[in-house]
Structure 1
Amino acid sequence: MTRYTMDALLRGLGVALILGAWSAAPAHALTLKTETVHRPSSTRVFPGDGPGAKAANSFCLMCHSAGMVMTQPDLSKSTWLAEVNKMKHVMKAPIPEDQVPVIAEYLYSIKGRK
């Protein structure tokens, strides 16, 4: 998720919580505090220049560092596909449907159990 998307999500969640708490409890029962989230930054990208590397760099780096992905165990092709589908459907990563198999195949090519 990009920093902008995460900030917008957190602001929206904050508004929802405030509105929900305001309608459900007296104002004196509500205490808000500021939280700061620091994500590690990196300039490392996925290797290669083919469609899989481009898709992984476009969509995976929104939430993950390339280093984090590259330290994962080698997985089978079907397991990488399941992982990318989980990111799209469960974690709601904005990966276009046609890029799911492209990313999974690419991850298998660099981190696959052959």
Structure 2
Amino acid sequence: MRARLILAANLLACFAALAAGAVAAPVSYDPPAETATLPPGPNLETAQANCSACHSADYITTQPRSFKDPHAFWAAEVAKMRKAYGAQIKDEDAPKIVDYLTATMGK
């Protein structure tokens, strides 16, 4: 009986420690300075406003891409950002972003 009580107390202490870790304060940091800029093109502002919320310009400009059908590639990427990752891109902005990425990074 005593062994069960000790085991139960140990389990309770472990759960309490796990729960305390789950409510730890978030860590803040300063991201490094940008090393690239998005190239000028039609709908640049729309792409910057939406894509830069999660990605650096450097990350966007260095993405591997399909040269066979750039429009289809970027349309799929934007759809993936919206559906799989929950990017808050308005319906009317999605084609503008695709057009921008196709025009500036599709070559």
Q: Which has the higher helix share?
A: 1
User: Any gaps of 5 or more consecutive residues in structure 1?
Assistant: 1-24
Where in structure 2 are there 5+ consecutive unaligned residues?
1-10
Higher RCO structure (Cα 8 Å, ≥6 apart):
2
The AA in structure 1 aligned to 2:96 is V
Task: Confirm whether residue 42 of structure 1 aligns to residue 33 of structure 2.
Answer: yes
Per-residue deviation, 1:59 = 0.5
Evaluate the alpha carbon distance shift between residue 74 and residue 88 of structure 1 in structure 2; reply closer, same or farther with a 3 A threshold. Answer: same
When the two structures are aligned, how many residues end up with a matched partner? 88
For residues 67-106 of structure 1, the aligned pairs below 5 Å read 67-75=58-66, 76-106=70-100
Q: TM-score, normalised by structure 2?
A: 0.67
Label 1:96 to 1:42 Cα distance change in 2 as closer, same or farther (>3 A). farther
* CA–CA distance in structure 2, aligned partners of residues 84 and 107 of structure 1: 10
Instruction: Tell me which stretches of 4 or more aligned residues in structure 1 moved more than 6 Å.
Output: none
Hey, what's the Cα distance between the residues in 1 that align with 2:33 and 2:41?
Answer: 19
CA root-mean-square deviation: 2.6
Displacement after TM superposition at 1:38 (Å):
4.0
Which residue is equivalent to 2:51?
Answer: 60
Question: Rg bigger for which structure?
Answer: 2
Q: Which runs of structure 2 are paired with 1:15-30 in the superposition (5 Å)? A: 26=12, 29-30=15-16
Amino acid at match of 2:39: P
TM-score, normalising length: structure 1? 0.63
Give the deviation of 1:37 after TM superposition.
Answer: 5.7
Q: Deviations over 1:22-51 (max 9, x none)?
A: xxx95751321455264634345422263x
Q: Does the residue aligned with 1:98 lie in a helix, a strand or coil?
A: coil
* Distance in structure 2 (CA, Å) of the matches to 1:48 and 1:112: 14
The amino acid across from 2:47 in the alignment is: A
